[in-house]
Amino acid sequence: MRNLNQKNSVLALLFIAVIFIFGSCKNDEDTTLKPGKGIFIVNEGGYGKNNGTISLFDPYSLTVISGLYESANNNVGPGDIVQSMSAFDNKGFIVVNNSQKIEVVDMSTFKKVQTISPLSYPRYVAKATSSEFYVSNGNSGDGTPGQVIVYNSNTYEVVKTITVGRGPERMLLVGNYMYVTNSGGYGTDNTVSVIDVTTKEVVKTITVGDNPVDIALDKDQNIWVFCKGKLDPNTWLPASNSAIVKIDSKTQAVVKTFDLGQQVPSYGNNLIAMSKDGASLYYDNGAIYKLSISATVLPTEKLINKDFYGIEVDPKNGNILGLESSASGKGKVYFYSATDGSLIGSYTVGYNPNSAVFNY
Amino acid sequence: MRKTGLLIIILLLTLTVRSFAEEEIRDTIHIPAIEVFKPRIAFFSEGSKKEQFDVHTMKSFELNSVNELLLKESALQLKSYGTPGSATTLSLRGAGANHTQVNWNGFPINSATLGESDLSFLPVGGFGSITLIQNASGALYGSGTFGGALNLENQTDWKDTGLNFRLSSGWGSLNTYQGNGIVHYGNKKIQYQGSFFGGESDGNFKYYDYYLSSTLRRQNAAWNNFGAINNVYFKTGDRSQIDAAVWYQVKDIKLPAIMGSALAGTETQKDSTLKTFVRYKWFGNASGLEIKAAYFFDYMLYTKKETAESAGYSIFSKYRTDRYFMDVDYRHFFTQNLSVDYGSTFSYLTAKVDAYKKLKQETDFAVFMAGKYKSSLSMAELSVRKEWNTSFDSKFLLSASGVCTIIEDHLHFRSSISQKFRKPTFNDLYWVPGGNPDLKPESGYSAEAGLIVDDLLSSKAQVLDLDLAVYFSDINNMIVWRPMGSLWTPVNFMKVYARGIELKTTDKFNVGSFAVDNLLSVNMNRSTQEKTKDNDSEIVGHDLFYMPLVSTFLNSSWSWKNYTVSVSHHFTSSRYYDVDNKLPAFQTVDIMASHELKIGKTPVGIQVRVDNLFNKEYELVRSYPMPGRLYSMKIGIQII
């Protein structure tokens, strides 16, 4: 009997030891950055200076790796005004607005695999189907509408060009529908174009607020659109307030509009972000506020008392990221806790960081 | 306190001088007419470093614009967007392009909207003299001289009578064709000189695009430039003269896209100008009067399309400015050595610019007084100015300079100190959105000290001259466009120090039957942001963008009989274009060969040039490549 107890003890100890060993192995895997994974900060650069870059934030070592694109591509940068980046199918689509092209990189190595050009004024890329992606293009400076260009994901050939509103910006895929915000470009617009990705036709045009620039999806499949407001063409003074518009994706109709009371003071457009649980919308109106998706009025209390060029939410841990641009030097990224809005840390990145891409 | 003190000084100066003068018998004063007659900025230029291009150099560049002359024949800092037709601006002594005042016959021609002057719009063949005054006095010149001034003048030689006609024509790489005709007719009473010029080019030079990893030809880069400058001079009496001038010019240029861009550019720019000028000069035994007036009309149209196929324009922006000037200067010589200038300038400016939304106007009035004492061994100048303007009043601006001889005919010491200011441009004040009508003018001072060595070796066989200058400028409230919330707006943002050393030496000698002429110019400069409105630690102490630490120019010319071969070398050190990144240092070599001959009785000159002989890649403005190797040839014929 004693022998069995001893044997049991040894087995138990062995068992515990094994758990510890495997347990610690698992921890090692979680503390180093895998190639192509992490938080990618999109830095626009200065107009005409060809100094747009992508930085990589390593959440484990809490360091920023700069010039990711240059390091992998013969010390040559992506180009002038890096407007956005999208990552899917292990590829990164870097939209270089003023160089009129999109650089496609392999996410694991960041080496360039394809250049998509020419595009007159490309803004964003969104995955539409397993074989197609969409590019929003056009500044509508002469009043003509912009386009959503459909590309084949394998051959990078243009499949179709769809006419939408003026200055098409961000796109959001909900089920089989791509919602495209028509921001106005150099002018003004107040619509969201809805494209059926199976037919590649615009099936509906939803009227929202002036100059819709940002879009997000909540847990109930409602679409939230941030409208910046328009400017008087003669005085360039604000002619309408910023607004947040809630659209029901089942009916494709507006269900609620929140007037922000002023035009937001930020110079940026990436000013709304959905919380990790999809139940709250963060928005920047001179400071960061938290709006419950079921709310009927805007909150009065500030969550984070600071204005940003762009805001994001980390889908892994719900942290709020604030991207701050500096007029003369490099920008910064600030991390805040979603529970109470307290600052976790801040790090210097590139010139005019406007957004982040989370690739885990 | 300072104001009153100053007024007293000036008053005393005048009073003591008057009492001194009373003891002299007026009849014995005889001032050379040329001194009494000299325009103000030329008369008061001895205390500053002055550089003038000689007749040979002017002739060599008679088909080009001033940007090419300065790029090829000096170590000065120019920013150019590519071809010779591209907008090019000049920075002097570590200050910005809007701190160089460019004057035509004494009136500033800088753009009222931008504050800078485009040197590609100034034809070398249209002017009698082109002079650079570093550290030009704020009291004498008014606004915008922290760096200095570039003075374009036309004069006439009353001894030159009869009819002359010179025609020159040039061809070069990139389908470049240029021509210039100069007509001169004169007698003892009336002189006329007309310069008619034109040029066009495809501007499609080859360059290596390191973003697209390929050698490409510049697209959408063609330009053409035509105009005429006509000058008339009337001798209205033994002691008086009237001159008048009309300058009309039009330039059309297509603007190529930045490097790395996938599309050919779609931007165009059209500039046109009509400048008119009239001047009356009179001189007596011991005094002179100059009254001049001018009207400048300037127009610019900038367009951009989203793509070359677009039906409409994304941007269609018009700028028009009308400027009226008047200037009066009375000079009185109290003694042979001492003179005082009393004067006043007036200007009225209107701007009709799409982006200002409404017509904008500015009225400016200034009074000044400047005294000069000159003897065989020394020279001293003291000047004071007060200016009133629609948007600001300047405080009293004072400047003082002096030259003294240490070793007669060989070594001189020069020094000057001058308070300066620069008024905000119309774009700064009225641009919608963002223009800030509450801007204050930039203000500060510049100081310089220099050693001038003439004929160091005291030898006829080898003439070695040297000019060594040390300078310092303090510029306060420098205007910078910054984002304020969702708009960019100009603010009086920072304090800048610019300091440096300039060395220029010329060496002329003979080697056998070759006459050799060498010139070396070395400029060292450091311009830094000393303080900013928001104490941004990332930029305080940082160098200003596009200011190299070192730039050099070396030229060696060898002449034998009527043949000349000249080799030039330029070096510019690296320059920041953002907080971390720099454009690399570069050097270029140019070669020129020329020959003067006579075909019958007609003098003919032939010149060939190879610019950027080693085809080096470089940029003066980030993302805009400069041309590689270019060939050109010119023939000039003195027909009559």
Question: Looking at the predicted structure, is the pLDDT value of residue B313 above 70?
Answer: yes
Residue among B248, B332, B230, B244 at smallest CA distance from B293: B244
From A74, A79, A118, residue closest to B260, measured CB to CB:
A79
Q: Residues A187-197: pLDDT tens digits?
A: 999 999 999 99
Alpha-carbon gap, residue B500 to B524, rounded angstroms? 5
**Contact criterion met (CB < 8 Å) for B313 and A141:** yes
pLDDT at position B29 is 63
Alpha helix (H) residue ranges in B263-418? none
Do B263 and A77 make contact, defined as CB atoms within 8 angstroms? no
Mean pLDDT score across all residues of chain B: 91
B213 interfacial to chain A (CB closer than 8 Å): yes
More confident residue, B275 or B536: B275
Closest A-chain CA to B488: A267
The closest CB to that of B623, out of A50, A143, A237, belongs to: A50
Cis amide bond preceding A118, omega within 30:
yes
Q: Assign B375 to helix, strand or coil.
A: coil
Tokens of A62: 């809490």
Out of B219-223, B325-329, B487-491, pick the least confident: B487-491
- Work out the average pLDDT over B225-234: 96
DSSP labels for B394-459? ---EEEEEEEEEEETTTEEEEEEEEEEEEPPPHHHHH-TTT--TTPPPEEEEEEEEEEEESSTT--
- Give the lowest-confidence range in A323-332, B12-21, B525-534: B12-21
Smallest CA–CA separation between B99 and chain A, in Å?
21
- Residue B280's pLDDT band (cuts 50, 70, 90): very high
Among B312, B314, B623, whose Cβ lies nearest the Cβ of A80?
Answer: B623
* B190 torsion bin: left (phi>0), alpha (psi -120 to 50), beta (else): beta
- Contact partners, residue A52, CB within 8 Å, separation at least 6: A43, A44, A45, A77, A78, A79, A80, A81, A82, A96, A350, A351
Query: DSSP secondary-structure letter at B543?
Result: B
Residue that wins the pLDDT comparison between B11 and B242: B242
Mutate to test the interface with A, among B81, B261, B576, B582 (most CBs of A within 10 A): B261
Phi, psi of B188 (to 5 degrees): -70, -15
Select from A325, A324, A200, A298 the least CA-distant residue to A242.
Answer: A298
Tens-binned pLDDT, residue by residue, of chain A (360 aa): 455 566 677 676 666 665 555 555 444 456 788 888 999 999 999 999 999 999 999 988 899 999 999 999 999 999 999 999 999 999 999 999 999 999 999 999 999 999 999 899 999 999 999 999 999 999 998 999 999 999 999 999 999 999 999 999 999 999 999 999 999 999 999 999 999 999 999 999 999 999 999 999 999 999 999 999 999 988 888 899 999 999 999 999 999 999 999 999 998 999 999 999 999 999 999 999 999 999 999 999 999 999 999 999 999 999 999 999 987 789 999 999 999 999 999 999 999 999 999 998
Distance from C-alpha of B441 to C-alpha of B424, rounded to nearest angstrom: 6
pLDDT at B531 over 80: yes
pLDDT of B12 reads 47
Q: How far apart are CA B609 and CA A178, in angstroms?
A: 60
Q: Give the other-Cβ count within 10 Å of B487's Cβ.
A: 14
Which residues on chain B are in Cβ contact (under 8 Å) with A329? Answer: 536, 538-539, 579
B263 contacts in A (CB within 8 Å)?
100, 117-118, 120
Provide the residue count of chain B. 640
pLDDT of residue B13: 55
Does the distance separating the beta carbons of B581 and A144 come in below 8 Å? no
- Any B CB within 8 A of A46 CB: yes
Cβ contact, residue pair A98, B261, below 8 Å: yes
The answer to which of A107-121, A269-283, B38-52, B347-361 has the lowest mean pLDDT is B38-52
Among all residues of chain B, which has the CA nearest to that of A116?
B262
Q: Give the minimum alpha-carbon distance from A96 to chain B in angstroms, rounded to a whole number.
A: 9
- Has residue B15 got a pLDDT over 80? no
Which chain B residues have a beta carbon less than 8 Å from that of A141?
304, 306, 312-315
**pTM attached to this predicted model:** 0.90
Any CB–CB contact under 8 A between A351 and chain B?
yes
Is residue B4 scored above 80 in pLDDT? no
Which residue on chain B is closest to A331 by alpha carbon? B538
Model ipTM over 0.90: no
Kindly state whether B535 is in contact with chain A, defined as any CB-CB distance less than 8 angstroms: no
pLDDT at res. B3: 55
Share of chain B above pLDDT 90, in %: 78
Cα dihedral A308, A309, A313, A317 sign: negative
- Which residues have a Cβ under 8 Å from the Cβ of B464 and sit 6 or more positions away? B453, B455, B456, B457, B505, B506, B507, B508
> How far apart (Å, rounded) are the C-alpha atoms in residues A320 and A273?
9
- pLDDT, one tens digit per residue, over B590-614 is 999 999 999 999 999 999 999 999 9
What is the structure's pLDDT at B14? 53
Residue A98 sits at the chain B interface (C-beta within 8 Å): yes
Determine contact: A329 vs chain B, CB below 8 A. Answer: yes
